[in-house]
Structure 1
Amino acid sequence: MQNKKVLVFLAKAFETMEFCAFIDILGWARVDYGHNLFVDTCGFTEKVISTFNVPVIVDKTIGEINVDEYDALAIPGGFGEFGFYEEAYDERFLKLIREFNAKGKIIATVCSGAFPVAKSEVLKNRKATTYHLKNGYWQEKLKEFGVIVVNEPIVVDGNIITSYCPETAPNVAFELLKMLTSEEEMTVIKKVMGF
């Protein structure tokens, strides 16, 4: 089984619940089921502060990333009120997203994590979703980037996974696991984790 690597990008004010799903599910697959799935966390700085003020020390900073080393990019969403878009919309991150997409690599997002992907123009004329409550306000904002918004919990369009709220985070991580392994393998891990 060949090694596969996922880059989990943490922009300032990311949501911890959305971040943890990727770490735990890919961790269970590696540790308990022998999948050679490895995760690197990444940010603009070595320490990234989450929405609710939890600091996370990342493995790498954005300048150290070589896209060829990774099979997928995972992007947890975050709160604009705490500065999520300041980093999520940084041109260096948008360039990284474009590079992952150009090489056909998986991009998995939770909730507002779809916005930097849309801003990078990678989602133009493609199906996606984002936060669905608050009268569809955020889905309407996503449409402004030329996205075909689908009001479903998880939307997969080719190599891109988007979802609509924190509750979907584990299922996005399972969808990513399925794309990296197989439906059968993912189902085994989902079951042992109690989902």
Structure 2
Amino acid sequence: MLQKVAVVLMEDVAVFEFGVLCEVFGIDRTDDGVPLFDFKVCSTRPGEPLQTSSHSQVVAPYGLDELEDADLVALPATTWRDAYDERILDALRRAEKRGAILLTVCSGAFVLGAAGLLDGRNCATHWRYAKTFRDQFPDANLDADVLFVDDGNIITSAGTAAGIDACLHLVRRELGSAVATRIARRMVVPPQRDGGQRQFVDVPVPESSGESLQPVLDYMVDNLTIEHTVPELARRARMSDRTFARRFVAETGTTPLKWVTTQRVLHARTLLEQTKLGIEQIAAQSGFGTAALLRHHFRRVVGVPPQDYRRTFQTTA
């Protein structure tokens, strides 16, 4: 059960990435049905200010002893370096050995690499640091094309906002889709994004009028059982087909078909967790039409067949 979360800070911590961990795990959302996490911010110098990468300071109230019984130990991004405080590395090794979950945001993966915890493990970090990471940790299996990697008790994410994806994925894995969706809704972010880092590598920012496609996305989610075409969606967005397709990829990282397919899978997953509906009924209500099509897409997105997922995650009495 995911209850106690310990975040480790060090000099040059990135404020946004630290804020992602605070936003997902450090805010009391019990009024919205989200469990309250025992959230501890730790460092080797509790109570003393640490410099951040944005020329400010932050104070961690707790010491590394809080890691000893934490269910999750999280590392935000920090300026990567050749060596890290051995006290932190030892605390991470002990946490991993006793079975705690370790999660990193962006360059936080370098700290786990320095602790020797990524040798032979699948992992991710920001695409800009891929070459440096591979040079420093040749025994790690780095995938620089994805938003995050779940390798069991170690979850590593790519740059900045990908940390949100990794955190919500972990919440979904440990506490279910309903909790992850409630947190995402309060953060005003999608519960799950499609696509990977490749879309962000050396690509110029597309021209945009600044008008969000959120109303169109909401319409698609509210109407999962009907087929959506680019011309129809473009008309709804009051754009040309070509402009709409370009803007859609820019905002979501994927195509309308792939995006709505993922939303259908997410809806099917919720129905599997929270209802006793049969697979054919779930296929119909989530927009797939047939159980065979649901099984195909569900396994591709989630990694297991619908029935296996239901046996593990169903919460209905």
Q: Runs of 5+ in structure 2 lacking a partner?
A: 190-317
Change (3 A) 1:165 1:141: farther
Instruction: Give the residue type in structure 2 aligned to 1:155.
Output: V
Percent identity between matched residues is 24
Q: Runs of 5+ in structure 1 lacking a partner?
A: none
TM (normalized to structure 2)? 0.54
Q: Distance in 2 between matches of 1:53 and 1:159?
A: 33
8 Å CA contact retained: 1:3, 1:38: no
Q: Distance in 1 between matches of 2:174 and 2:61?
A: 21
Q: Distance in 2 between matches of 1:96 and 1:110?
A: 18
8 Å CA contact retained: 1:30, 1:36: yes
Q: Residues 15-94 of structure 1: matches in 2 within 5 Å?
A: 15-26=14-25, 27=27, 29-30=29-30, 32-45=32-45, 46=47, 47-62=49-64, 64-65=65-66, 67-68=68-69, 70-80=70-80, 85=81, 89-94=84-89
* 1:148 pairs with one of 141, 146, 151: 141
Matched, 1:113 2:108: yes
Compute the displacement of 1:28 (Å): 5.2
Matched, 1:101 2:96: yes
Change (3 A) 1:37 1:30: farther
Matched, 1:181 2:161: no
Matched, 1:157 2:151: yes
Alpha-carbon deviations, 1:1-41, whole Å to 9, x = none?
A: x8811001111101000000111122154464341212100
Instruction: Give the residue type in structure 1 aligned to 2:66.
Output: I
Alpha-carbon deviations, 1:55-100, whole Å to 9, x = none?
A: 11212122x43512x11001001124xxxx48x7111111111111
Which of the pair has more CA radius of gyration? 2
Compute the displacement of 1:104 (Å): 1.2
8 Å CA contact retained: 2:40, 2:66: no
Q: Distance in 1 between matches of 2:21 and 2:30?
A: 12
The number of equivalent residue pairs is: 185
Alpha-carbon deviations, 1:137-195, whole Å to 9, x = none?
A: 23423542x10111211011011111121121211221232344223311222123211
- Secondary structure at the residue paired with 1:60? coil
* Greater percentage in strand: 1
Q: Distance in 2 between matches of 1:12 and 1:31?
A: 35
Alpha-carbon deviations, 1:109-162, whole Å to 9, x = none?
A: 01110011111111110100112026x423423542x10111211011011111
8 Å CA contact retained: 1:13, 1:49: yes
8 Å CA contact retained: 1:67, 1:100: yes
CA RMSD between the two structures = 2.2
- Secondary structure at the residue paired with 1:51? coil
* Greater percentage in helix: 2
- Secondary structure at the residue paired with 1:44? coil
TM (normalized to structure 1)? 0.85
